[in-house]
Copies of this chain bind each other. A is one copy, B any other.
């Protein structure tokens, strides 16, 4: 009657969505302020003023047929080159507007890249804990997921495990830094080492291994550090970017793919990306939002609020006694569950109206993810609940 796999994907929304819906219902029942919903990563900051100003200006000044009409499937030429110039100036890279492909957000970007790259049975490495949709996207492109756990002490890349996992079937590896769900940001040294490992393995297996870097949180870094742009460290890199978080435009679905200028067969690879976009029904990225991009490059929704939230929550939870991976970026915090079973812990937390996503959703055990793109007020009010939750475990022998 219909495709069973698709039905299952539609029937079982992610645990994140489930918690979020549970929270909505609970709020309606006991009041908005009584539920501490840390489940979802919906930006809580408004877009910077330049976004709406630019959109209104475009609507008032550009000819309707041009503004709302089809762009080239790869995206408007000028917009692509503006992005290239911005990236080259900001990160000292050498990307080309002719290898940029505008997309309907980062999820579309990754899906398109995977369909462009994979033949049935090709392996894609993802690092656990991971954004759960990666698995869905890889499998839908007929690829096989190979999971490599991160180091359990700091959630950095475990290079020994990674080196062992790469084999003749490995076509790509997906990374996201700043990371969802851990908040870890890979350093220049880390990306550089990753590049060397992949390069060595390319020689061993005599075919390219593409590094897909998913970068929706690229600008959400709270401490002083330089973001290592992957094309500077590894030739066979493809960047998938979205303005969802940096401009608080998650619903508008606008982002891009950059194929590294030195990637093996970069021109053919770019054509395969064009073909995949076509086959998947992506005609072009929303035109109004394409034309908005040049005026907004280099401007970001304020991250001060997220940073203040991080500091407040991190200090508060540490003071209570929670064990936390120090989050340098994104708006997620990875906190050790107070019992082995993170799902049970998440359920227990619900009794205190705390909605925390169990790490099982991210292919990892024993932690919960806290999304702190929420109001500061809610964080303050939640502390008492976190304390009670902690005391329940400390008072008992559950651990």
A136 within 8 A of B: yes
Question: How many residues of A are counted as interface, with CB atoms below 8 angstroms from the partner's CB atoms?
Answer: 84
A47 within 8 A of B: yes
Chain B contacts of A151 at CB under 8 A?
Answer: none
A65 within 8 A of B: yes
A398 within 8 A of B: no
Known contacts A117-B2, A283-B253: A65-B52 contact under CB 8 Å: no
How many whole Å from A164's CB to the nearest CB in chain B? 24
Contact A275 B6 (CB under 8 A): yes
Chain B contacts of A279 at CB under 8 A?
Answer: 5-6, 9, 136-137, 139-140
A390 within 8 A of B: no
> In the complex, which residue of chain B has the Cβ closest to the Cβ of A269?
B2
Chain B contacts of A140 at CB under 8 A?
Answer: 279-280
Contact B1 A118 (CB under 8 A): no
Cα A108 to Cα B11 with chains together (Å): 20
Contact B65 A248 (CB under 8 A): yes
Chain A contacts with B in 277-311, Cβ cutoff 8 A: 277-290
Chain A contacts with B in 226-280, Cβ cutoff 8 A: 248-253, 264-265, 268-280
Q: Type the 1/0 row for A58-100, where 1 means its CB is closer than 8 Å to any CB of B.
A: 0110011101111101000000000000000000000000000
How many whole Å from A29's CB to the nearest CB in chain B? 19
> In the complex, which residue of chain B has the Cβ closest to the Cβ of A110?
B281
Chain B contacts of A270 at CB under 8 A?
Answer: 10
Q: Type the 1/0 row for A133-172, where 1 means its CB is closer than 8 Å to any CB of B.
A: 1001101100000000000000000000000000000000
How many whole Å from A2's CB to the nearest CB in chain B? 4
How many whole Å from A107's CB to the nearest CB in chain B? 4
Q: Type the 1/0 row for A1-23, where 1 means its CB is closer than 8 Å to any CB of B.
A: 11111111111010000000000
Contact B283 A280 (CB under 8 A): no
Chain B contacts of A213 at CB under 8 A?
Answer: none
Binds B, one of A38-46, A176-184, A325-333, A340-348: A38-46
Cα A32 to Cα B190 with chains together (Å): 54
> In the complex, which residue of chain B has the Cβ closest to the Cβ of A265?
B1
Chain B contacts of A252 at CB under 8 A?
Answer: 68, 286-288
Contact of A271 among B11, B63, B264 (CB under 8 A): B11
Contact of A115 among B6, B69, B71, B273 (CB under 8 A): B6
Chain B contacts of A285 at CB under 8 A?
Answer: 253
A127 within 8 A of B: no
A174 within 8 A of B: no
Chain B contacts of A117 at CB under 8 A?
Answer: 2-3
Contact B42 A69 (CB under 8 A): yes
How many whole Å from A68's CB to the nearest CB in chain B? 5
Pairs across A and B, CB under 8 Å, 9 listed = A1-B265, A3-B275, A4-B119, A6-B276, A7-B268, A10-B275, A10-B277, A69-B248, A251-B290
